[in-house]
Structure 1
Amino acid sequence: MFSLGPDGMRDLQERAEGLSADLACGQWKPNRFDKRALRKLAGTDRDAITSMFIELGPRQGNKMTSRLVTLLANSAAAQDMPSIAELPEAQEALSAVSSVIRSAA
């Protein structure tokens, strides 16, 4: 279960960095549904993740890679709570997620 506290934010950052590393070495390749979502997020601010999920809907989300969906859903949950999003750990985690988005888009 995902935690919205500092430990959960550190875990989110580690998962974002792991996905980024897997992308860099070719162990993870975004599918076309992943790319569609990532393109929507690229060039926007981090707060766009929640809006993007609403816009895409469940059908699109079901076709995306589970690692990416989990990463983005957890990021959206952190963003949705200002008290959590302002934590230094959350800022670092959301920055790592943004890096994955830019790299994979």
Structure 2
Amino acid sequence: MRDLQARAEDLSADLASGQWKPNRFDRRALLQLTGAEDPVIDREAILTMFDELYKEHGPRQLNKMTSQLTTLLMNTAAAQDLPSIAALPEAQEALGAVRSLVQSAA
């Protein structure tokens, strides 16, 4: 979870400094994840987002997304596979960092 949080914070810092600018493929994904008001992005929402983008735009959509963002989102979904671990305060903090990045980047 520390690694997940560090990667979310690093990507947020890159966004703030202008070193990373979400491309149009990233924005499609980010916009689909900004709808819910929950403190964390639900695992199912992430998987549904990837599935819908693939169905609508094909593999090019996923291949053109920033690799750091794709990996971060997939790891966020995987981190929620075990609800007992995802409920820990450290996990909630890491998942909250991902939510913050998605909201600021969208």
2:48 alignment partner AA: S
**Which amino acid in structure 2 is aligned with residue 97 of structure 1?**
V
- 1:69 is aligned to 70
Give ranges in structure 1 of 5+ residues lacking alignment.
1-8
1:1-105 alignment runs, 5 A limit: 9-44=1-36, 45=38, 46-47=41-42, 48-57=45-54, 59=59, 60-105=61-106
Number of equivalenced pairs = 97
Q: 1 CA distance for matches of 2:9 and 2:92?
A: 14
Distance in 2 separating the partners of 1:21 and 1:10: 16
Question: What CA RMSD, in Å, does the superposition of the two structures yield over aligned residues?
Answer: 1.3
Q: Using the TM superposition, give the Cα deviation of residue 55 of structure 1 relative to its aligned residue in structure 2, in angstroms.
A: 2.0
Q: Report the CA distance between 1:81 and its aligned residue.
A: 2.4
SS at match of 1:43: coil
TM-score by length of 2: 0.84
User: Deviating runs (4+, > 4 A) in structure 1?
Assistant: none
Q: Distance in 1 between matches of 2:46 and 2:71?
A: 12
